[in-house]
Amino acid sequence: MTISPPTPYVPALDLLRWQFDLTWLLFEYHLERIEPDDFLWEPAANCWTVRRSPDGTWAPDWADTEPDPVPVPTIAWLSWHMGWWWSVAADHAQGRTPRERSDITWPGAGTPTVEWLRALRKDWLTALAGLTTTDLAATAPFPWPKDPQHTVAHMIAWVNAELMKNVAEIGQLRLQRAAARG
């Protein structure tokens, strides 16, 4: 009889970082192939996107109460949404004053957004690099403020889950748009 050696213990932050890196690698596949026109493509009549404000900045469609049915988001809206939650999570993780949703502006279709998302990744990796085991066990400041059952490790796992979801949505929209173009 052969006994397999025990699975090596993987520290929580190492596992969370591995999961993040895997998800980001899948995202790079789409970021390398996305076309500027893909961002504002509206796949349905009931759609959330970003629109030019009178001052020239891009503003996201938004409702404080989620509508029913939920509008189909564009890649532009999803990338703005990623920028919003990720900026706020990084602010909390690094002890900065978190930005308001309205402070997060979408940079525009194509390269500006791709570079913005890659910069957010670098900022997040900086935040993760500074964390200790004690930090991971602290109460999460976001998105569950003052809930002692959720730790900073939970916040990191939540970021990974949000990233996975948004990457899948962006990838699916990009593939649908490519298929529609023929």
Rounded alpha-carbon distances, angstroms, from residue 55 to 45, 73, 157:
26, 23, 37
In the three-class reduction of DSSP (H, G, I as helix; E, B as strand; rest coil), residue 43 is classed as coil
Phi-psi region of 110 (alpha: psi -120 to 50; beta: other; left: phi over 0): left
Q: Supply the pTM of this predicted model.
A: 0.92
The residues, ordered by sequence, that sit 6+ positions from 94 with a Cβ below 8 Å of its Cβ are 123, 126, 127, 130
Per-residue pLDDT of the chain (182 residues), as tens digits, is 666 666 777 788 999 999 999 999 999 999 999 999 999 999 999 999 999 999 999 999 999 999 999 999 999 999 999 999 999 999 999 999 999 999 999 999 999 999 999 999 999 999 999 899 999 999 998 898 778 899 999 999 999 999 999 999 999 999 999 998 87
